[in-house]
Every structure is written in structure tokens, then in C-alpha cells.
Amino acid sequence: MTLDTCSNMLVSYPKSGRTWVRFMLLTYLRLLSGEPGEHFMNDEESYFQRFGIRIGHAGAKFNYPYYAMPLEHLKTLTTDCCLLLVRNVYETLNSSYYEVVYRQPQIGFNGSLEAFVRDPRFGPVKLATFFNVWTNEVVPRSNRAESMTYADLRADTIGGFAQILEWFSIPLEMNHVEAAVESGRFDKMLAASLDERCETPRLRPRDRHDARTFKIRRADPAEAATAFTPETRRFVQQTMESVLVPQAYRWIEPCIAEETPCVASVTREL
């Protein structure tokens, strides 16, 4: 299966909860196939290919500025269903900052959050460009386009995950749904990422002695509460409003409100 022939595609901007969903999906597909649910994401591609699922960022990798995102692979995309996972703008930017500074130091950014937000590789201009790409390039090439917010999935993980399976036309077994959701708990995913049997680079910590480099981490509520200054928030809002095409608001509107807290008291950083 290639990208342009997949049946279903899960798309998100980086740090929007995609790893959490793919972890639950893999658990579910293994159980549905009559195989053990415990895993370390070592064999996810074989299961996703078997069930016609592709997962991607639609060109929004951190090492590309907004004006040079690689989009050629989208030109021939055709899917039955494409699902967009959306997270609050401030949560996304805050989590992205940790990813770039502590997990991907090879990118070469070691500045402040304010500088990060103003960098064309990472800030709201890149985020808004991603949603424009989703709206203009992905949605027209899908027979069905759906979206789910990270907040809604956290509020009702069993119901939300069951909805994803329905959208992807995957047989629904509620006992497997419950087991998949259990596997996606923070402590379970953290343990899997630290297990020596985990061979998946995207899941393993860069430095086992520094929690800031963990893929699965909790945000500090005190830090998150003061992460964005009023000036930075105004910059984010103004940039998003100036860059987003009108049709893109449908997809991001639930997660762009300025009054939305940037990080909840306990946040899964995925």
C-alpha cells in the first residue's frame, strides 16, 4: 500500500495527540487480529497496512519552514476517509517547543518560547499553513473528511476512539476498545517507551535521565500557566487570523480561542 492508495488516513499537526491515537489503534488492531495486545509500536506498519491506514503530518515537519513544506506526495492522494486530529493552538505550540529543543536538537534551535513562536519553521504561521494545506489539498482528495479535537477525545476516550473506528470502517468490538483505551493511559505508554524491547525511535526517549526528552511526558502546570505572555498570545492570534484561508476555520475554530487554557492541569504530551 502506498500513500496515494490508502483507505483511511489520520492527519495531525505535530504534537496534537497522534502518537496516543496510533498507540490505541495498534492495540486494537492486534486484538482484532487475535494477537496479544501488549506492544512497543515495533510492528505498527504491518498492521496499519493490513487495515489500509496511513498516518502523517501532511508535510508539517519541523525542519521545513512554512513556505517550503513538502507537499508533492499529496498531489495524487485519494482516500475513503481522512481524519484530522486537532489540538488547542497554545498546547500544540508549547508541546512543539519541547519537542524541538529537547528531542530534536539536531534542528539547531535553542531559543526562548517567544523566539520559537516567531520562527517560520515552528510558529503559528506554520500551524496556519498546515490547516490551509489540509483544507485545500487533503479534503478535496478524500471521499469523507472528519475531525476530532484532542480535548473531546480526552473527555470521552472510549466514545471518541469508537467513533474513529466507525469512520475507518473497522469492525467494532467494545471489549477491544476498552482494552485499547487502557493501553493508551499515560503510565502505560510511558512504560512502553522506556522498555528495552521498544525499538521505535519516535517513542523512545533521547535521554533516559532527562524527562524533558521523553516522547511521553507531563507538562508542568505552573510552567504552562505562564508559558505565553499576552504579547505572544496576541501575535499568535493575529498571525493565525491573517494566514488562515476562510474555509480552514471550520477545522480549527474549536481550538483557536484565545481564552482556552494553553495546557490543562495534567496534559499528555504526545
| pLDDT tens track for 188-247 | 999 999 998 988 888 899 999 999 999 998 766 456 557 899 999 999 999 999 999 999
Q: What are the beta bridge partners of residue 217?
A: 269
Is the torsion defined by CA of 151, 157, 159, 161 positive or negative? positive
**DSSP code of 84?**
E
Query: In which band, very low, low, confident or very high, does the pLDDT at 132 lie, cut at 50, 70 and 90?
Result: very high
Give the mean pLDDT of the chain: 87
pLDDT at 266: 31
- The CATH homologous superfamily for domain 3-269 is P-loop containing nucleotide triphosphate hydrolases (3.40.50.300)
Q: How confident is the model at residue 60 (pLDDT cuts 50, 70, 90)?
A: confident
Nearest to 89 by CA among 268, 255, 264: 255
Q: In this structure, what are the phi and psi dihedrals at residue 133, rounded to the nearest 5 degrees? A: -65, -45
Q: Delimit the domains of the chain by residue range.
A: 3-269
Backbone angles phi, psi at 159, to 5 degrees: -65, -40
Q: What is the 3-state secondary structure (H, E, C) of 154-165?
A: HHCHHHHHHHHH
- Would you call 249 helix, strand, or coil by DSSP? helix
pLDDT at residue number 257: 64
Q: What is the mean pLDDT of residues 108-114?
A: 93
